[in-house]
Amino acid sequence: MDIKAYIASGILELYVSGSLSEKENAEVYEVLKKHPEAMAEVERIEKSLQQLSGALAPNRSDTIFSQIQSNIQEDQKQVIPVTRKRSSLPTYIAWAASIALLLGLFTQLNKNKTLKQQLVKNQIEQQLLEGKLKVAEEDLTTTKNILSVLRNKDILQVPLPGQKIDPTAYAAVYWDKDSEKVYIDVAGLPTPPPGKVYQVWSLKLNPLTPTSLGILDQFDDNKNKIFLLKNQNESEAFGITLEPEGGSTFPTLEMLYTLGTIES
Amino acid sequence: MQPTELIKGLQKKNQDAFRRIYDMYADNIFGVIYTILRDETLAEEVLQDVFIKIWNNAHTYSEKKGRFFTWILNIARNAAIDKTRSKSFRNSSQNLNADFFVDILEDKTNFSSKIDSIGIKKYIKVLEPMCKKIIDLLFFKGFTQKEAAENLEIPLGTIKTRNRICIQKLKEVLEIK
């Protein structure tokens, strides 16, 4: 290599200015190792540029370095354990252990989360089932009550066949005279249209005197379609009419669905 | 000479070595930063940042990558250029009409004792305008040859030799004395 031509090319000036690529820098470095005169030229260029840039510096306050020092000392205090040179094996082991621990923790956390979600789900299901059970128990109690009423020999059973307006309609009254209760079984009556309600009447036949026993409101909600009403009358017959909501004082006879007399 | 032992000391976080490196390079670095920013307060801030970076990143320096001076020069230019994008720099907009380092030198009366101020003043008197521009871009602003050629609208091939001639003159003026 013609080292004089190399120096004259101006590459060393660019090298000092930092205007070369990483690859070119590495090439220059190799040349400098072999050619002391090139290295000497680099030193001269550097010194000149340092003189030039140093000449441009404003007067520098003496406190700057102490400020830098306090900054790096603060930093150093924080980083001492990390920057101290040690065998890297324990560090790797420590890292690996930390990562494993982290992964483990993470997995446990995830599991925990899943389990919690499962627990909540199960609790909700349990509540639902408990609710269903309660409903079923209530149903059972009601049904048992009804059964015991039907089996009671003291109770008077009065069938109420359908009338002209709906011959397929059917109802029955179970009258417990001693406790003055009547059970009205209306499973055979059609669901009343909106705004209408069935009303139960106790009748005296001679002369015909109707007395309202009550209205069968919430017809839909009563699953057994058996209503319990009070009856203090000396009834001779029972009738059920369809009345406007709230009931009527006198039965609307055109809307008489079922009627049955007591055989005595 | 490159202070090889001091650099090793610095890389081992030796505070004495750091102090001596600061003494060796602070003026050069301050000069470069000030040339870019033209504001003493901001330049001092950047100077501090640069030496903190030198302390923190010394282990990444390797002789194979280039001169140590070039390494810190790069840190300084980058930090100063970063600062020009900051709000505090835009608010300070003083002296921005001064384009080249020569303006600073012409106005300057007191120089650090380490500097050959007579030589430097002589240098700018004999320096051609093109030299002023080339040195400004390549050395103070850290342009690549290509960027400098485009900026000055001269052929890429001539940048390298022109730059050498300009720096040769500086060497001669400083060495004749």
Distance from CA of B117 to the nearest CA of A (A): 7
Q: Choosing among A6, A13, A16, A62, which should be mutated to test the B contact, i.e. which has the most B CBs within 10 A?
A: A13
DSSP state of B95: T
Cβ–Cβ pairs < 8 A, chains A and B: 168
What is the greatest pairwise CA distance in chain B? 47
pLDDT in tens, chain A (264 residues): 799 999 999 999 999 999 998 899 999 999 999 999 999 999 999 999 998 898 888 888 888 888 888 888 766 555 544 455 556 788 888 888 899 999 999 999 999 999 999 999 899 899 889 989 988 888 888 888 878 877 877 888 889 998 888 888 899 999 888 888 898 998 888 888 888 999 999 999 888 889 999 998 888 777 778 888 998 888 899 999 999 988 888 898 888 999 998 876
CA atoms within 13 A on the CB side of A111: 6
pLDDT digits 0-9 by tens, B132-167: 889 999 999 888 899 999 999 999 889 999 999 999
pLDDT digits 0-9 by tens, B121-141: 878 787 888 888 899 999 998
What pLDDT shows up at residue A142?
81
CATH topology of domain A156-261: Immunoglobulin-like (2.60.40)
What pLDDT shows up at residue B103?
75
Q: Does B152 touch chain A (CB under 8 A)?
A: no
| Domains located in chain B, CATH noted | 4-92 (1.10.1740.10), 101-176 (1.10.10.10)
Domain boundary assignment for chain A: 3-83, 84-151, 156-261
Residue of A11, A17, A42 with shortest CB distance to B138: A17
What pLDDT shows up at residue B31?
92
Amino acid (one-letter) located at A89: L
Report the distance separating Cα B10 and Cα B13, nearest Å: 5
ipTM of the complex, rounded to two decimals: 0.90
CB B102 within 8 A of CB B132: yes
Q: How many CB atoms lie within 10 A of CB A15?
A: 25
Instruction: Name the residue of chain A whose CA is nearest to B71's CA.
Output: A18
What pLDDT shows up at residue B84?
85
CB < 8 Å to B40, chain A: 58
- At A199, is the secondary structure helix, strand, or coil? strand
**In this structure, what token pair is assigned to residue A86?**
């040690």
Q: Does A5 touch chain B (CB under 8 A)?
A: no
Residue of A8, A50, A83 with shortest CB distance to B69: A50
Q: B60 Cβ partners below 8 Å, 6+ apart?
A: none
**In this structure, what token pair is assigned to residue A151?**
């089996």
pLDDT over 60 (residue B177): no
Q: Is the peptide bond before A207 cis (omega within 30 degrees of 0)?
A: yes
pLDDT digits 0-9 by tens, B41-98: 899 999 999 999 999 999 999 998 899 999 999 999 999 988 888 777 777 655 454 5
What pLDDT shows up at residue A17?
94
